[in-house]
């Protein structure tokens, strides 16, 4: 056990919070609490994970593991007796969350509203699960606490009195968000009904948290606010500037809602900071961002996740953190390792993230452990007799239906269960693809029922897995099949372009991608692929224009920044290349090609020591990275270290031979 940098940590989750909304509000002086935090600490983007689904993401935050490891694979799952489906719960999670690790380490935790924590676990401390505040009764009737919603259960009565019912949110409470609230109430506007429900939930979570912060001593308090995300799904389409499909009347009625909810969260943050005190280390983060600009999708055609941006916000302040500095390359998977290091506990080697040691105000020894799963002791995990409340589950299911995350259950229970398992298998496939485990992703697709496997998106996903595994011919057969279907012509053309690029047929790849560009010039990822084709063909000016166009559409496209870095290297501009490559790895830390180009740019500038550090990180992040081994061999040779140079030259040759063998039919 190492020294601890923090005596206690307050971990605050703001679902879907985004700097694009926050920065203008801070500039106008409307978010002083967050601004105060930033001046005292570090801040930056935080990269989300794929797929961008809240129960999976917040469980990854709490475990430091991807969803294939922690087991929460969607919003719902079949009941154990297969009598229907239920929301994912704390029982869905495999292994220990942060509060379980702290419990068996003699540390006390308080957890409020965290996604997928119902039923509450018997941890050392307090857990108020995410079903506790659900209004399962009308305002004039008793409002029971769902069984198993609170630990210890004797706190239920005290905390229940702090809940806010939607009926208590009157016009006066709504006016700061919706100035036309009285008229909307008179016409019984459905959005207003949802607004009141979301405000009540947010207020309930906050009231319970403020009570617990001052009630007992604690080492960790973790609280999750869902409000920004839920408000976004209802009101972001009305945020200025007015979208084409929004009427003038609706725009005027709801245009202030999103600004209001951000300001409300900042006021709540101010209260939490005051109650916690300056001796508490605070980490605030979101699981993803939320489009609020010209990239907002068409609400009629888009699903809920189409609104999610791949970068959220993170800010850490207080003892242990540096002051007023930017944090680069943060990931959701880093949160648990960072909290463990702050509290003086070892990080599990099976955790995929890293502590933000560069953000700490002093260096402490790095203590590691193989896995917390192997540590004996009472971790506050569930026993076999934990009960759940059907009424609370039904309320949670209805909320997911209202938000558009799931379809209403079919009358055919067997079909509902089959579809739920299929959605979760697709989510697992996406997770496995994101960590380059494509053979396992294909195996996940094989579990789908035949009617799911024939869907265009599933066929496309399978083809991409085959292509990543070196089976271009199999992927090509799928592309030919999709090209003949009416539901996926652009997808088939994009796939054919990717196959041609993998085969180094740059002319064919260019033809396919330019055909897609003519039909859908703003398709995500298109211009990055075009830039890659031009780069491989030696058309550097065209590559630069394509990558710059990709960045016009999405300034946070790390792959496009990296493409610009490679282009600048090819054109003999190492300084510009270094700027772009640092921008790429500053957005996404686990980015082997980005670190390769950082190293190559530094080497081109003659900074061999730093170049070697960057290139060593590239090969550490990606096994079998021949290009990085070659660059390392060159850097070591120039640095006068021939043994290291020869070692990496051999590794480069071995990796290249292995890759050639895999690609040979």
Question: What pLDDT digit, counting tens, does each position of 318-340 carry?
Answer: 999 999 999 999 999 999 999 99
The residues near 227 (Cβ < 8 Å, ≥ 6 apart) are 15, 198, 199, 201, 202, 261, 264, 265
Q: Which residue has the higher pLDDT, 371 or 142?
A: 371
Query: What number of other Cβ atoms are within 10 A of residue 210's Cβ?
Result: 18
Q: Give the mean model confidence (pLDDT) for residues 463-471.
A: 93
Q: Give the mean model confidence (pLDDT) for residues 59-71.
A: 97
What is the C-alpha to C-alpha distance for residues 661 and 198, in angstroms, rounded to an integer? 56
Share of the chain above pLDDT 90, in %: 76
Both tokens assigned to 3: 């020294």
Both tokens assigned to 286: 């979101």
Q: Which among 486, 488, 485, 466 has a CA at the least distance from the CA of 475? A: 466
The region of weakest confidence among 115-129, 356-370, 417-431 is 356-370
Both tokens assigned to 197: 């429900």
- DSSP annotation of 311: E
How far does CA 365 lie from the centroid of its chain?
Answer: 29
Characterize 352-363 residue by residue with b for buried, 16 or more Cβ atoms within 10 angstroms of its Cβ, and e for exposed. bbbbbeebbeee
Q: What stretches of 38-94 adopt beta strand conformation (E)?
A: 41-47, 76-78, 85-87
Both tokens assigned to 347: 């990080």
pLDDT band for 180, please (50, 70, 90 cuts): confident
- H, E, C per residue of 164-199: CCHHHCCHHHHCCCCCCHHHHHHCCCHHHHHHHHHH
To which residue do tokens 């869905």 refer? 92
Q: Is the pLDDT of residue 72 over 90?
A: yes
The answer to whether 150 and 120 have CB atoms below 8 angstroms apart is yes
The residues near 170 (Cβ < 8 Å, ≥ 6 apart) are none
Characterize 263-287 residue by residue with b for buried, 16 or more Cβ atoms within 10 angstroms of its Cβ, and e for exposed. bbbbebbbebbebbeeebbbbbbbb
* pLDDT for the residue numbered 658: 59
* pLDDT for the residue numbered 80: 87
The region of weakest confidence among 173-182, 292-301, 601-610 is 173-182
CA Rg value for the chain: 26
What is the C-alpha to C-alpha distance for residues 26 and 260, in angstroms, rounded to an integer? 13
Q: Which among 621, 99, 64 has a CA at the least distance from the CA of 371? A: 64
Q: Give the mean model confidence (pLDDT) for residues 582-601.
A: 95
For 208, counting Cβ atoms within 10 Å of its Cβ (0-12 exposed, 13-18 middle, 19+ buried), the class is: buried
The residues near 505 (Cβ < 8 Å, ≥ 6 apart) are none
Our CA angle for 209, 212, 214, nearest 5°, is 115
Q: Is the pLDDT of residue 659 over 60?
A: no
* pLDDT for the residue numbered 665: 46
Query: What number of other Cβ atoms are within 10 A of residue 506's Cβ?
Result: 18
* pLDDT for the residue numbered 9: 98
* pLDDT for the residue numbered 614: 96
Q: Is the pLDDT of residue 661 over 60?
A: no
What is the C-alpha to C-alpha distance for residues 371 and 540, in angstroms, rounded to an integer? 47
pLDDT band for 430, please (50, 70, 90 cuts): very high
12-53 pLDDT per residue, tens: 999 999 999 999 999 999 999 999 999 999 999 999 999 999
Q: How far lies 137's CA from each of 164, 332, 395, 402, 580, in Å?
A: 12, 36, 10, 18, 55
* pLDDT for the residue numbered 395: 73
Both tokens assigned to 58: 């917040």
Both tokens assigned to 440: 């396992």
- DSSP annotation of 315: E
* pLDDT for the residue numbered 313: 98
Both tokens assigned to 354: 């890293």
- In this structure, which long-range contacts are made by residues 453-460, counting pairs with CB atoms below 8 Å and at least 24 apart in sequence? 456/482, 456/485, 456/487, 456/488, 456/491, 457/488, 457/491, 458/426, 459/488, 460/488, 460/491, 460/492, 460/495
Q: How far lies 180's CA from each of 173, 190, 257, in Å?
A: 12, 14, 11
Q: Which among 26, 45, 37, 44 has a CA at the least distance from the CA of 323? A: 37
Q: Is the pLDDT of residue 656 over 70?
A: no
- DSSP annotation of 242: P
Q: Is the pLDDT of residue 642 over 70?
A: yes
The residues near 84 (Cβ < 8 Å, ≥ 6 apart) are 78, 409, 413, 416, 417
What is the C-alpha to C-alpha distance for residues 395 and 200, in angstroms, rounded to an integer? 15
Q: Give the mean model confidence (pLDDT) for residues 437-460.
A: 94
The region of weakest confidence among 121-125, 387-391, 433-437, 549-553 is 387-391
What dihedral do alpha carbons 489, 491, 496, 499 form, nearest 10°? -170
Both tokens assigned to 109: 């935790």
Q: Is the pLDDT of residue 137 over 80?
A: no
Strands 311-317 and 41-47 turn out to be antiparallel
Both tokens assigned to 188: 């019984």
241-276 pLDDT per residue, tens: 999 999 999 999 899 999 999 999 999 999 999 999
Q: Is the pLDDT of residue 664 over 70?
A: no
pLDDT band for 161, please (50, 70, 90 cuts): very high
What is the C-alpha to C-alpha distance for residues 69 and 55, in angstroms, rounded to an integer? 14
Q: Which residue has the higher pLDDT, 576 or 180?
A: 576
To which residue do tokens 């979101």 refer? 286
What is the C-alpha to C-alpha distance for residues 382 and 129, in angstroms, rounded to an integer? 13
To which residue do tokens 């917040």 refer? 58
Q: Which residues pair with 309 in a beta bridge?
A: 289
* pLDDT for the residue numbered 531: 96
- DSSP annotation of 321: B
Q: Give the mean model confidence (pLDDT) for residues 351-380.
A: 93
pTM above 0.85, yes or no: yes
The answer to whether 342 and 107 have CB atoms below 8 angstroms apart is no
What is the C-alpha to C-alpha distance for residues 306 and 299, in angstroms, rounded to an integer? 9
* pLDDT for the residue numbered 389: 64
The answer to whether 281 and 41 have CB atoms below 8 angstroms apart is no
Collapsing DSSP to helix, strand or coil, 115 comes out as coil
* pLDDT for the residue numbered 190: 81
The answer to whether 17 and 265 have CB atoms below 8 angstroms apart is yes
As a residue count, the chain comes to 665
End-to-end Cα spacing for the chain = 51
Please name each of the domains of the chain with its CATH number.
Answer: 9-395 (3.40.720.10), 556-665 (1.25.40.10)
* pLDDT for the residue numbered 391: 67
């Amino acid at each position: 056990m190492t020294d601890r940098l923090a005596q206690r940590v307050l971990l605050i989750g703001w679902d879907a919070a985004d700097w694009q909304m926050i920065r203008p509000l801070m500039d106008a002086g409307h978010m002083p609490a967050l601004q105060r935090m930033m001046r005292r600490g570090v801040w930056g983007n935080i990269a989300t994970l794929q797929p961008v689904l809240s129960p999976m993401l917040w469980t990854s935050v709490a475990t430091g593991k991807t969803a294939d490891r922690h087991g929460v694979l969607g919003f719902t799952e079949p009941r154990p007796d297969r009598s229907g489906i239920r929301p994912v719960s704390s029982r869905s999670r495999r292994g220990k969350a942060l509060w379980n690790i702290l419990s068996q380490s003699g540390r006390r935790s308080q957890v409020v509203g965290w996604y997928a924590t119902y039923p509450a676990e018997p941890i050392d401390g307090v857990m108020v699960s995410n079903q506790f505040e659900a209004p399962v009764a009308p305002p004039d009737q008793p409002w029971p606490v769902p069984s198993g919603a609170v630990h210890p259960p004797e706190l239920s009565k005290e905390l229940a009195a702090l809940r806010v019912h939607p009926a208590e949110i009157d016009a006066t409470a709504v006016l700061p968000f919706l100035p036309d609230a009285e008229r909307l109430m008179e016409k019984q506007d459905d959005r207003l009904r949802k607004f009141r429900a979301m405000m009540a939930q947010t207020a309930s979570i906050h009231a319970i948290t403020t009570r617990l912060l001052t009630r007992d001593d604690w080492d960790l308090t973790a609280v999750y606010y869902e409000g920004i995300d839920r408000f976004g799904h209802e009101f972001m389409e009305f945020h200025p500037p007015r979208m084409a499909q929004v009427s003038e009347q609706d725009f005027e009625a709801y245009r202030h809602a999103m600004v209001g909810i951000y300001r409300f969260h900042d006021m709540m943050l101010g209260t939490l900071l005051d109650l916690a005190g300056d001796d508490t280390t605070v980490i605030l983060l979101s699981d993803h961002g939320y489009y609020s600009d010209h990239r907002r999708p068409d609400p009629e055609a888009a699903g809920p996740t189409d609104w999610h941006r791949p970068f959220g916000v993170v800010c850490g302040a207080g003892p242990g953190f540096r002051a007023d500095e930017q944090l680069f390359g943060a990931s959701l998977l880093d949160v648990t390792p960072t909290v463990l290091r702050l509290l003086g506990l070892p990080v599990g080697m099976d955790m995929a993230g890293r502590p933000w040691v560069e953000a700490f105000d002093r260096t402490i020894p790095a203590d590691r452990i193989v896995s917390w799963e192997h540590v004996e002791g009472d971790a506050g995990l569930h026993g076999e007799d934990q009960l759940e409340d059907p009424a609370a589950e039904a309320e949670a299911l209805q909320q997911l239906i209202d938000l558009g995350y799931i379809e209403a259950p079919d009358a055919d229970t067997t079909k509902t269960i089959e579809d739920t398992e299929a959605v979760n298998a697709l989510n697992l496939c996406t997770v496995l693809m994101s960590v380059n485990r494509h053979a396992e992703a294909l195996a996940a697709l094989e579990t789908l029922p035949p009617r799911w496997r024939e869907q265009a998106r599933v066929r496309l996903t399978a083809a991409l897995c085959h292509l990543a595994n070196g089976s271009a011919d199999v992927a090509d057969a799928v592309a030919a099949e999709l090209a003949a279907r009416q539901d996926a012509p652009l997808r088939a053309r994009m796939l054919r372009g990717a196959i041609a690029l993998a085969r180094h047929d740059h002319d064919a790849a260019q033809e396919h991608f330019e055909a897609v560009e003519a039909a859908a010039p703003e398709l995500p990822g298109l211009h990055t692929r075009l830039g890659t084709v031009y780069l491989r063909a030696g058309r550097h000016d065209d590559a630069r224009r394509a990558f710059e166009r990709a960045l016009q559409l999405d300034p946070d496209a790390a792959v496009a920044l990296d493409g610009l870095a490679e282009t600048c290297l090819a054109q003999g501009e190492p300084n510009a290349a270094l700027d772009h490559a640092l921008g790429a790895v500053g957005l996404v830390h686990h980015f082997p090609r980005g670190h390769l180009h950082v190293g190559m740019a530094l080497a081109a500038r003659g900074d061999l020591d730093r170049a070697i550090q960057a290139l060593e990180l590239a090969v550490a992040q990606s096994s079998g990275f021949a290009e990085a081994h070659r660059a390392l061999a060159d850097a070591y040779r120039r640095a006068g270290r021939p043994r290291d140079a020869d070692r990496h030259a051999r590794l480069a040759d071995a990796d290249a031979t292995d890759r050639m063998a895999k690609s040979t039919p």
